[in-house]
Amino acid sequence: MNALGNKTCIITGGAGSLGLAAAKLFLAEGARVMLVDLNPDTLADAKAELGGGGNVDTCSADVSSETDVQRYVEATCTRFGNIDVLFSNAGNFGTVAPIEDYPTGIFDAVYAVHVRGAFLAAKHAVPHMNDGGSIVITSSVAGTRGDPGVYAYITAKHAQTGLMRCLAKELAPRRIRVNTIHPGPIDNAFQLSVEEGLAKEIGRDGTEFFNEIIPLGRHGSPDEIARSVLYLASDQSSFTTGAMLMVDGGMSA
């Protein structure tokens, strides 16, 4: 298959389970991929898992740092040429706490990665994007709901949708599509850490709690979410922009 043949793609949060699953699919579809993540060691492991090769490179960066964002965009263009796909996927969770106890520093840190990170990625990548490209931002089912105590993560995920809608309108004349993807709980280490924290708050197993409120009765896999990212990244979604793609097992229905 060749859905992304000779396309240059940036994936932030590229060493995590979803970023890595997307990278595998993108490469299989003919793309050139720049993986961006905070930790150079996990990036090296991710590159090794992908088999190395000339179509994948890495750049360690703090996505909330404008200097770092400029650096990974420049590194991508130098290595592979102008950008066709920006998958803004980096994320962190924060904590769960009553509003009066919620740490302001944690709120700021989560907002910086999800919202400032996605904003800076677009700000610096768009001038180097080919017309007809695609921007995909990883939001969450949390970006469609509110839950007690999840102040930073849920607020940030809602804000990403607003950013997406502004970008979709502005970039439509260049045929650059901009969409958010909204996974439900995924079977990965990130979600497990969320569920372990939640268990302390609700006094029961967090994984079981989520499975009970997901109509399909289970967590999604990184590969399942990545297939939906590929749809938004490729020309298969050529008439889709400004959209929220729910990949949540029916949780938001």
Residues catalogued as catalytic? 153
Bridge partner residues of 242 (DSSP): none
> Position 108: which residue type?
D
Q: What is the token pair recorded at 123? A: 């700000």
Length of the chain: 253
Whether the CB-CB separation of 22 and 89 falls below 8 Å is answered with yes
Sign of CA dihedral 36, 48, 232, 159: negative
Q: Are 14 and 46 in contact (CB under 8 A)?
A: yes
> Rounded to an integer, what distance in angstroms lies between the CA atom of residue 59 and that of residue 14?
10
Q: For residue 129, what are its two tokens?
A: 């994007």
Query: Which amino acid, 8?
Result: T
